[in-house]
Structure 1
């Protein structure tokens, strides 16, 4: 397997494993089982016997050790079942209230994974220690250190249970969810928009690019989740190629569809094609890692659901608009990435699609305005947020946002509004005139 293929795919696989609901509990279980063997071996080497020394941390006879380990194991598996049920109930609530696109955030919640892993790990630890307790009173082997550590794990599990009750009540709040979605959106902006001046302006594509190029097809269908730009740049530089990314992150492709075009085709061997194909990660769903539009869409979807007649919660829509402004305002001071990326010798190596900021912003705000155009508070919040976002956008994108903002205000004025709602919109227009 080629290096670039393995690095890109392994990184994507590790990210999926690290964010899955079962990976952290599995690691914790393995560590707990290993600790049970370790502490038993330490007790064997120490040759600890039953003692009445009051200064000892925790000592038991065989029956006492069996009893306390059995009680801990039974209670841990019972609480673990309860934790799992509460988690599933929270997922069901999140799916119905916030939409299925945000379920991944709850599944990747590290606290929930650690809580579940703590109880399962304690349960299995007690089972493995329990098997080593042998004999009757007066002639026995009791791993006092191992049993004592089991008591410590039980006490820690109680503390974790109290934390879980607090955490699960906090995590299902809309403010907490929006903060997480906005953070992921800001991270996507940081990855896509460079703080350094853009390069590649003034360069042109090679002559005959389309005629003398080789198309790299997707090996299976799905959404493009990650494109290894660094790996593609390295391959293009080593083999003197010019690559064009035809399927950017977030695009749905079917098997056999071209994802990368390589020029010239006579330099692209089957091995290089395998490397190029491996630099593109395709999965079942979209992810916000490199897909800014999807990161924004999840916030927009929450606003749309809150404005639907079934929910009728415009306050949540106001929170969503604020967070949307936070993500788009992150662009402030950053340059729009060029469609052409150069190597250190200023040779064009990679052609990509650039993000059209004004289109992304207008589509996002329009999706909210479409449902909240009759709500004066929503329109006012949209107007104020658009003003802030417009100030952070590059000059070329500001005019589109200003025109869109005027269209929203004009559309709201044409609605049959109450007198006090018209007063709110009139105040917004008066503020515009004062600022201008």
Structure 2
């Protein structure tokens, strides 16, 4: 039961990390605590605080209120302008690079810290302003707190300059593609190779032949409790459950697939050993969310780069240079991916008994689908085709022999009659000729 709660922690953290309210709220709380502490410090009548009057500006209640009011008013105004500029950037990114890019802009820590700096300075000045009381000869002014408020105002001004620079550079296509490439490479490092210490040596396409006899007639389907996209699968957990209960588990949906509520996630056999508690444990090995995420979904990571290239090649944009940048970054990720070991789709126990079976994505599927999707829109551009052929050739060098042959068949198809080959013919060219 406790593990079922733990599986929601990464999803909750991802939502907090992708929100505009979490970091500013956290910074505002810190500002409130700091204001209270400095006000209490200023109210102490200790001898060691006497040095404050010697160097600090002799704030009177009227001047302190004027300074704090000016800082608070300007901060909330700048915060509103900053928020408007951020929303405008999100709208531009969504229309120019695709709605899948909004997640990256919302996760940008720089934008969150800028908003948090303005809001926390505003909250801090309000609390300190409320502590200033009295007039004439009897008054209280927290000199240290007011001085720190002026320091925050200067820091906010520097933050505003940084924000203008950051928001201008963040929408440059070179920086966007670089961040997507870094994120995709991290996904490759995180996912591949996986489970090679327990994987069976035979290929992953023999799913039906590898199942025990009578598997379908003596099995139970474990369904999803929520609808959405599968963001991650804990294969180690599935293997442990299958080994502990002497089961054979077949994964029905892979990472990135959409699963409806009550849709089948896995099929476990034999039926008599799959109790409700075991079924819940199997279901908890899947993390399902409202959107696809690039953390474990390498296909989605590549798809975001491909989408930018497709938009750049559309007649409304007509920006083939951006598509060339996309091909370079795509070649970088696929070049790293080509040298990685892909799981076979079979996980065995220590007695070499089949426990978990799944059909993983292959390098051929990832590379050929990405290249073909870009070629569909840019097959008539000679510069794009030349760069595409070069990237395909470089990626195929590190790929396994079977994947290399498929990529080179697609490569040769793009070379037929210059760039006159249609996308449908290129896709057919990836299939081997009948004997």
Does residue 1:283 correspond to 2:289, yes or no? yes
How many residues get paired? 415
Gaps in structure 2 of 5+ consecutive residues: 203-209, 423-435
Relative distance call for 1:198 and 1:77 in structure 2 (3 A) is same
How many Å apart are 1:192 and its aligned residue? 2.4
Separation in 2, partners of 1:371, 1:125: 54
Is the 8 Å Cα contact of residues 198 and 338 (structure 1) preserved in structure 2? no
Separation in 1, partners of 2:77, 2:266: 52
1:227 is matched with 233
1:61 is matched with 60
Relative distance call for 1:45 and 1:130 in structure 2 (3 A) is same
Separation in 1, partners of 2:55, 2:247: 71
1:358-399 residue CA offsets vs partner (Å, 9 max, x unmatched)? 122111111111111111100000011001100121122100
Is the 8 Å Cα contact of residues 374 and 412 (structure 1) preserved in structure 2? no
Is the 8 Å Cα contact of residues 118 and 157 (structure 1) preserved in structure 2? yes
Is the 8 Å Cα contact of residues 195 and 334 (structure 1) preserved in structure 2? no
Alignment of 1:292-371 (within 5 A): 292-343=298-349, 346-371=352-377
2:432 is matched with none
1:147 is matched with 146
- SS for the counterpart of 1:331 is helix
How many Å apart are 1:167 and its aligned residue? 0.5
Q: Which sits farther off after the overlay, 335-344 or 407-416? A: 407-416
Separation in 2, partners of 1:217, 1:82: 47
Separation in 2, partners of 1:187, 1:161: 31
Q: State the TM-score, normalizing by the size of structure 2.
A: 0.89
Separation in 1, partners of 2:330, 2:362: 16
Separation in 2, partners of 1:345, 1:47: 74
Separation in 1, partners of 2:224, 2:421: 48
Relative distance call for 1:277 and 1:411 in structure 2 (3 A) is farther
Alignment of 1:55-134 (within 5 A): 55-134=54-133
1:211 is matched with 217
Separation in 2, partners of 1:83, 1:11: 29
Relative distance call for 1:240 and 1:34 in structure 2 (3 A) is farther
- SS for the counterpart of 2:287 is strand
Relative distance call for 1:285 and 1:357 in structure 2 (3 A) is same
Gaps in structure 1 of 5+ consecutive residues: 417-436
- SS for the counterpart of 1:135 is strand
1:28-59 residue CA offsets vs partner (Å, 9 max, x unmatched)? 11111111112222222355999897742444
Separation in 2, partners of 1:120, 1:280: 38
1:131-184 residue CA offsets vs partner (Å, 9 max, x unmatched)? 111111321121122222211111111111111111000000001111111112
Separation in 1, partners of 2:216, 2:231: 25
Separation in 2, partners of 1:108, 1:310: 29
- SS for the counterpart of 2:6 is helix
How many Å apart are 1:411 and its aligned residue? 5.2
Separation in 2, partners of 1:196, 1:95: 37
Is the 8 Å Cα contact of residues 3 and 275 (structure 1) preserved in structure 2? no
Relative distance call for 1:219 and 1:61 in structure 2 (3 A) is same
Q: Which sits farther off after the overlay, 305-314 or 281-290? A: 281-290
1:254 is matched with 260
Q: Which sits farther off after the overlay, 15-24 or 44-53? A: 44-53
Separation in 2, partners of 1:336, 1:185: 16
RMSD: 2.3
2:425 is matched with none
How many Å apart are 1:322 and its aligned residue? 0.5
Separation in 2, partners of 1:230, 1:196: 8
How many Å apart are 1:25 and its aligned residue? 1.0
Q: State the TM-score, normalizing by the size of structure 1.
A: 0.89
Separation in 2, partners of 1:50, 1:198: 66
1:224-245 residue CA offsets vs partner (Å, 9 max, x unmatched)? 1222333333433443433222
Aligned counterpart in structure 2 of residue 271 of structure 1, from 256, 271, 277: 277
2:6 is matched with 7
Relative distance call for 1:268 and 1:197 in structure 2 (3 A) is closer
Relative distance call for 1:383 and 1:110 in structure 2 (3 A) is same
Separation in 2, partners of 1:180, 1:317: 16
Relative distance call for 1:333 and 1:68 in structure 2 (3 A) is same
Q: Which sits farther off after the overlay, 337-346 or 173-182? A: 337-346
How many Å apart are 1:263 and its aligned residue? 2.6
Separation in 2, partners of 1:132, 1:325: 60
